C-alpha cells in the first residue's frame, strides 16, 4: 500500500512538471513584474549573449561631463538596442539623418526616452534614421527591442573628426518636455566587476534576455545608489552631446515673460493715446468748431445788432465802419463771433 501511494505521488509530480501552469481568471499569475512603475535594476542595453565594449565611460573630459557625467557609450554599430529597464516611452525622435563630430549637430540626435515611474528616465541616443521601433505612450519591458543604433547627433570616431556609430545611454532625472537632463549614477546587474559600473575599454556580455529566459549569472535586484559627485572638466565646452535644458527651460523664460509683457503693454498705451489723441483732437476741433460757431453766432448776433441800430442813432455814427461788421463775418470768423457777442451784451445792458 505504501508502495502504491509512493508511485501515485511520483506520477502526479511528473504530470505537474510536464503540464503548463494553471491560470485562474481574475487572479494574477505573479510571474511578470509590472512594466510601469518599473522594478529596480538595469541590464546592459543589447541582446543577451552578445558582447560589446565601452568606448567612453562616465565622468570624462571629452563629452561625458556636466549633464552627461554619468553616461556610457557602447560600440553598437547599427545594431539592435533593447530596453535596459522597463517603463513607459515618453519621447521619441527618429527623423534625423545628420551627425558628426561637431557642435553643429547637437540637436540632430535621434533618441528614445523611457520613464521608469520613479522620477528617473533612461535615454538612448544617436539612433539610426527612421529606425525607432516604439512610439510615445508604449509600455516596454526590459529586454524588448526599441531601436537600431546609429551616428546621428554629436558622434565622434576615434580620430575625433568623423562620425562614429555608437549607443549613448544614461539614466537621468525625469523632466517633462526635456529629453536630455542631468544624468544620475547607476550600476548594471549583469556586470559582476567594479560594483556593476562599466569601465571604458572593457567588454561585457549582456544577460538581458528579456522575460522567460534563464540567466547565466545570479542577478542582484538592485545595487546601492552611488554618490553623485561628477568631477571631470570638459576639454571642449562647446562639444556637448545635446543642447542643455537651461537653454530651453520654460521656467526662467516664463518668469521673465510677464515683465516683458507688462512693459510692452504699458508702452503702447501712452504712445497710442499721445500720438493719436492730439492728431484726432487738433484736426477736428479747429475744423468743426469754427464753422459751427461762425454759423450759429453771426445769425443771432446780426439780428439783435441791427434792431438797436435804427433806434439809437449815435451808435451807428460812432461805429461808422459798417464794412467792419460785414468784413468780420466774412474773413476772420472766430474774431467776428466774439466781438459781436460783447456788442450784443452791452447794448441790451445799456
Question: What is the pLDDT, as a whole number, of residue 30?
Answer: 54
Residue-averaged pLDDT of the chain = 74
Buried b (16+ CB within 10 A) or exposed e, 159-187: eeeebbbbbbbbbbebeeebbbbbbbbbb
Please check whether residues 105 and 187 belong to one and the same domain. Answer: yes
Cis (ω within 30 of 0) for the bond into 37? yes
pLDDT at 74 over 90: yes
Q: Please report whether residue 298 resides in a domain.
A: no
Select, from the ranges 49-58, 159-168, 217-226, 269-278, the one with the highest average predicted confidence (pLDDT): 49-58
Q: Please report whether residue 295 resides in a domain.
A: no
Residue 212: CATH number of its domain: 2.70.70.10
Q: Please report whether residue 294 resides in a domain.
A: no
pLDDT at 53 over 50: yes
Q: Give the residue from 225, 255, 275 where a domain finishes.
A: 275
Please check whether residues 267 and 131 belong to one and the same domain. Answer: no
51-56 vs 127-132, strand pairing mode: unpaired
Q: Please report whether residue 283 resides in a domain.
A: no
Q: Give the residue from 275, 296, 324 where a domain finishes.
A: 275
In the chain, beta strands by DSSP E: 51-56, 72-74, 80-82, 87-93, 99-100, 111-115, 120-125, 127-132, 139-140, 145-149, 153-154, 167-173, 203-205
Average pLDDT on 306-332 reads: 44
Q: Which of 116, 103, 99, 121 is nearest to 166 (CA)?
A: 99
Question: What is the pLDDT, as a whole number, of residue 124?
Answer: 98
Please check whether residues 269 and 124 belong to one and the same domain. Answer: no
Number of compact structural domains in the chain: 2
The pLDDT-based confidence of 343 (bands split at 50, 70, 90) is very low
pLDDT at 203 over 50: yes
The pLDDT-based confidence of 242 (bands split at 50, 70, 90) is confident
Please check whether residues 75 and 223 belong to one and the same domain. Answer: yes
Q: Please report whether residue 343 resides in a domain.
A: no
Average pLDDT on 167-177 reads: 97
pLDDT at 90 over 80: yes
The predicted-structure confidence for 282-317, as pLDDT tens digits, reads as follows 444 444 444 444 444 444 444 444 444 444 444 444
Q: Please report whether residue 338 resides in a domain.
A: no
pLDDT at 193 over 70: yes
Average pLDDT on 59-63 reads: 95
Question: What is the pLDDT, as a whole number, of residue 26?
Answer: 41
The pLDDT-based confidence of 222 (bands split at 50, 70, 90) is low
The answer to whether the CB of 245 falls within 8 A of the CB of 175 is yes
Please state, in angstroms and rounded to a whole number, the distance separating the CA atoms of residues 109 and 126: 5
Please check whether residues 86 and 179 belong to one and the same domain. Answer: yes
Q: Residue 270 belongs to what domain range? A: 244-275
Please check whether residues 69 and 163 belong to one and the same domain. Answer: yes
Average pLDDT on 325-339 reads: 44
pLDDT at 258 over 70: no
Count of residues making up the chain: 350
Please check whether residues 86 and 180 belong to one and the same domain. Answer: yes
Q: Which of 178, 202, 161, 180 is nearest to 52 (CA)?
A: 202
Please check whether residues 195 and 103 belong to one and the same domain. Answer: yes
Global pTM exceeds 0.75: no
Q: Please report whether residue 209 resides in a domain.
A: yes
pLDDT at 95 over 80: yes
Q: Which of 336, 264, 344 is nearest to 308 (CA)?
A: 344
Q: Give the residue from 275, 298, 328 where a domain finishes.
A: 275
The answer to whether the CB of 40 falls within 8 A of the CB of 222 is yes
Question: What is the pLDDT, as a whole number, of residue 212?
Answer: 61
Please check whether residues 203 and 255 belong to one and the same domain. Answer: no
Please check whether residues 148 and 261 belong to one and the same domain. Answer: no
Q: Please report whether residue 170 resides in a domain.
A: yes
Average pLDDT on 218-242 reads: 80
- % residues pLDDT > 90 (the chain): 50
In this structure, what DSSP letter does residue 195 have? G
Please check whether residues 176 and 264 belong to one and the same domain. Answer: no
Please check whether residues 170 and 239 belong to one and the same domain. Answer: yes
Lowest-pLDDT range, 8-12, 76-80, 81-85, 331-335?
331-335
pLDDT at 189 over 70: yes
pLDDT at 250 over 80: no
Amino acid at each position: 500500500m505504501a508502495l502504491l501511494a509512493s508511485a501515485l505521488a511520483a506520477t502526479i509530480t511528473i504530470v505537474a512538471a510536464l503540464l503548463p501552469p494553471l491560470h485562474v481568471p481574475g487572479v494574477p499569475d505573479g510571474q511578470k513584474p509590472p512594466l510601469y512603475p518599473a522594478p529596480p535594476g538595469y541590464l546592459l542595453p543589447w541582446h543577451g549573449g552578445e558582447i560589446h565594449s565601452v568606448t567612453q565611460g562616465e565622468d570624462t573630459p571629452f563629452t561625458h561631463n556636466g549633464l552627461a557625467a554619468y553616461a556610457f557609450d557602447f560600440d553598437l554599430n547599427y545594431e539592435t538596442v533593447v530596453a535596459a529597464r522597463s517603463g513607459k516611452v515618453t519621447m521619441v525622435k527618429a527623423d534625423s539623418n545628420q551627425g558628426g563630430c561637431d557642435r553643429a549637430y547637437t540637436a540632430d540626435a535621434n533618441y528614445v526616452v523611457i520613464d521608469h515611474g520613479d522620477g528617473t528616465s533612461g535615454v538612448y541616443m544617436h539612433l539610426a534614421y527612421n529606425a525607432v521601433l516604439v512610439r510615445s505612450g508604449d509600455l516596454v519591458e526590459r529586454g524588448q527591442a526599441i531601436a537600431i543604433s546609429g551616428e546621428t547627433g554629436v558622434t565622434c570616431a576615434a580620430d575625433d573628426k568623423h562620425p562614429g556609430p555608437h549607443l549613448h545611454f544614461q539614466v537621468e532625472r525625469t523632466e517633462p518636455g526635456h529629453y536630455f537632463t542631468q544624468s544620475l549614477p547607476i550600476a548594471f546587474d549583469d556586470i559582476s566587476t567594479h560594483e556593476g559600473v562599466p569601465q571604458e575599454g572593457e567588454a561585457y556580455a549582456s544577460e538581458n534576455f528579456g522575460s522567460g529566459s534563464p540567466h547565466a549569472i545570479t542577478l542582484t535586484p538592485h545595487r546601492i545608489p552611488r554618490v553623485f559627485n561628477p568631477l571631470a572638466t570638459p576639454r571642449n565646452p562647446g562639444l556637448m552631446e545635446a543642447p542643455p535644458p537651461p537653454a530651453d527651460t520654460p521656467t526662467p523664460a516664463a518668469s521673465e515673460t510677464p515683465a516683458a509683457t507688462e512693459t510692452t503693454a504699458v508702452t503702447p498705451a501712452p504712445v497710442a493715446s499721445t500720438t493719436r489723441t492730439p492728431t484726432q483732437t487738433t484736426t477736428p476741433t479747429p475744423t468743426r468748431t469754427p464753422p459751427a460757431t461762425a454759423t450759429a453766432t453771426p445769425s443771432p448776433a446780426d439780428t439783435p445788432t441791427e434792431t438797436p441800430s435804427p433806434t439809437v442813432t449815435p451808435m451807428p455814427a460812432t461805429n461808422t465802419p459798417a464794412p467792419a461788421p460785414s468784413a468780420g463775418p466774412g474773413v476772420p470768423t472766430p474774431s467776428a463771433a466774439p466781438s459781436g457777442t460783447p456788442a450784443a451784451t452791452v447794448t441790451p445792458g445799456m
